[in-house]
Amino acid sequence: MAVLVLVEHAGGRADDVSQQAATLARGYAQAAGEPLQAVLFGPDAGAAAQSMGTLGATAAYVVVHERLTAYAPQAWGRAIAELVETHAPSAVIAPGSERATEAMAHAAAFADLPLAANCVDAVPGDAAAVTRLRWGGSLLEQARVHGRTKLLTAAPHAVEAAAASAPSETVVTEFTPELEDADLVVQVVERAQTDAGGGVSLADARVVVSAGRGAGSAEGFAPVEALAAALGGAVGCSRAVTIAGWRPHTDQVGQTGTKIAPEIYIPCGISGATQHMAGCKGAKRILAINTDPEAPIVANADYAVIGDLHEVLPAITAEIEKARAG
Ligand SMILES: Cc1cc2nc3c(=O)[nH]c(=O)nc-3n(C[C@H](O)[C@H](O)[C@H](O)COP(=O)(O)OP(=O)(O)OC[C@H]3O[C@@H](n4cnc5c(N)ncnc54)[C@H](O)[C@@H]3O)c2cc1C
């Protein structure tokens, strides 16, 4: 038996959340005394598969099918379920990205197995013992997962990614699933580039400056954009802002938005509702700017400035520019 890890990748390497999932999966495989194997999809999967040894995978399955040219959740799920059927891994562990979670839900339905999402820890056994994030990260649940193959996703930014202490030799094999027309009804047909954050993606940004209802209007984001630009960061927002139509949903941080893990997160005029905090738990440091010292975000922050964001942000940006000029 083996433990399979689903790896999403870009530029020939596993992306951050897949490296975190692989770290969880490697620990699970070691505890089970089984090898770790990877499964990859997409046109560049062959190249990325060559680097799976750094994650500790001794084998990598590259899923190829003439009709599978882009992300197609049901087709991915079908392929994973077929791997479960033919290779009988003891577990399949995937990153908790939206795409992988959707694919794993299809795989679980095809394989008629339970799926435990958002795990932060997993210990193998007849029934695997998992700890997982519930209620937008406000609750840790301990649960037992049954079934011949345990299907799990790793909560994003909850496990620190680490390379294998000794890289493995990886045997790369192509795997062609038997897909049905229905598996390809939903698939990516086009990609559009957003212009937010000057090309810095919210999910990957090392600095995120966000604003909420306290910004007051779409125009109220000007000082937020200026500080983000000065710091080379991305702009985010709360759901109050996307509901008001001030910013697109792609900028929303939170349970129903993007999960971020920057070095520093600067939420301005955001109260810090549970659903917002669920998206920024992975931030290493939080600097809150708010007029209300009693706002929950202040209690959750490492640093806080109590003041009007329209005064505080231009002052910070001016200081940064002054320091750079000097
Ligand atoms: C199922 C569900 C999913 C949700 N998902 C998300 C999600 O993904 N992301 C999300 O953000 N929310 C989400 N929400 C909504 C969430 O519960 C809150 O309603 C929302 O986060 C509030 O946004 P806010 O903090 O901008 O606004 P408010 O709660 O109104 O807070 C505004 C804050 O701005 C401060 N302020 C006002 N003026 C200024 C000023 N001039 N300068 C500085 N501070 C000022 C105030 O003191 C206050 O703290 C979800 C809710 C539900 C029910």
Which residue has its alpha carbon closest to ligand 1 atom 35?
Answer: 269
Boundary of a domain, candidates 154, 184, 214 = 184
Boundary of a domain, candidates 184, 204, 221 = 184
- Mean pLDDT, consecutive 10-residue stretches, the chain (326 aa), reads 97 94 98 98 94 96 96 98 98 96 98 97 97 87 97 93 92 97 96 66 92 98 97 96 96 93 97 94 95 98 98 97 90
Could you tell me if 156 and 204 lie in one domain? no
Compute the CA torsion angle 186, 191, 194, 197 (nearest 10 deg): 100
292 token code pair = 């209300």
Burial of residue 182 (CB within 10 Å: 0-12, 13-18, 19+) is exposed
The minimum-distance atom of ligand 1 relative to the CA of 241 is 26
Please tell me the pTM assigned to this model.
0.81
DSSP per position, 72-91: -HHHHHHHHHHHHHHH--SE
User: Could you tell me which of 245, 141, 250 has the C-alpha nearest to residue 194?
Assistant: 250
Q: Is 281 left (phi over 0), alpha (psi -120 to 50) or beta?
A: alpha
Residue 135 alpha carbon to ligand 1 centre in Å: 17
Amino acid 167: pLDDT: 87
Q: Is ligand 1 within 6 A of the CB of residue 291? A: yes
The minimum-distance atom of ligand 1 relative to the CA of 253 is 9
For the chain, the domain total comes to: 2
Could you tell me if 110 and 39 lie in one domain? yes
17: which residues sit within 8 A by CB, 6+ positions away? 8, 95, 96, 97, 154, 156, 157
- Sign of the Cα torsion 51, 35, 1, 149 reads negative
Could you tell me if 12 and 95 lie in one domain? yes
Side-chain-side CA neighbours of residue 21 (13 Å): 33
Distance CA 176, CA 225 (A): 46
Amino acid 294: pLDDT: 98
Amino acid 272: pLDDT: 97
- Single-letter amino acid code for the residue at 254: G
Q: Is ligand 1 within 6 A of the CB of residue 247? A: no
The CATH number of whichever domain residue 54 belongs to comes to 3.40.50.620
